Amino acid sequence: MSHLLRKPQANELSQGVKLVHEVKKSNSDLSYVEFKVLDLAPGSSYEESLSKQECCIVALTGKITATDHEQTFENIGTRESVFERKPTDSVYVSNDRKFGITAVTEARVALCYSPSENQLPTKLIKAEDNGIENRGKFSNKRTVHNILPDSDPSANSLLVVEVYTESGNWSSYPPHKHDQDNLPEESFLEETYYHELDPQQGFVFQRVYTDDGSIDETMTVENGNVVIVPAGYHPVGVPDGYTSYYLNVMAVPTRKWKFHNDPDHEWILER
């Protein structure tokens, strides 16, 4: 199996709390992005202390209560399935704080991390505050929910978005990359993709490749998988009959999303 593709686990952290994914610096090629997915049974709780990291808590499904022990946000989360296609609630917590999550209902939660030295206020990012964009045309259509875009100054390094790609369409396409610290032309962003499919037995294809060929992997990605993008172009193809969802986590030294299209394929934008 590709070292960029991660299958879900079911490691029990405590009663009612299961670790589905854990992408860390120590087990990946990433230096800025870390990522976890937790499954919580009703009434179960999870706590964590942040050192020099910030974290965006995304209520993927179900309802949770989240706290930094100064502010508490009760009964957040808006959906039972990501394919309800409505934005959800998230909470941003800055470095050198502790946070806790308690499941009100059965819940799946994503924890998105990046380095942070400058402590910022804890913030509830309400579902209705997510910017919604429809991008692309022809067979390149997708819908984006902006949770923490670069236009939002609430975070130091993190960028977090959700993307829905229609049946038979391509996403992150034409292939683009953001692995050079060369603003204003291109920014350096590491990235993870957490994927879900509707129906769940589906799959998508994701290729990650660099100009010099040091990375060139094409993966069959199934429901609940994570793909790691340390560098390079990273398009996603969705077969007919299935809809793709993914949660993107990006982090950068300079918090700006500026990408560079693969020049071999940029021509499709001129159609």
CA torsion 58→132→254→24, rounded to 10°? 30
* Angle made by CA atoms 256, 54, 45, in degrees to the nearest 5: 140
- What is the model's pLDDT at position 1? 63
Q: Which two tokens stand for residue 93?
A: 């917590």
**Cβ–Cβ < 8 Å for 260, 176:** yes
Which of these, 241, 210, 205, lies nearest to 222 by C-alpha position?
205
Q: Please state the pTM of the whole predicted model.
A: 0.96
What is the dihedral angle through the alpha carbons of 231, 93, 87, 232, rounded to the nearest 10 degrees? 0
Angstrom distance (rounded) from CA 271 to CA 52 = 46
Residues in the chain predicted with pLDDT less than 50, given as ranges, are: none
Sheet holding 98-103, edge to edge: 45-49, 98-103, 64-67, 72-76
pLDDT of residue 257: 86
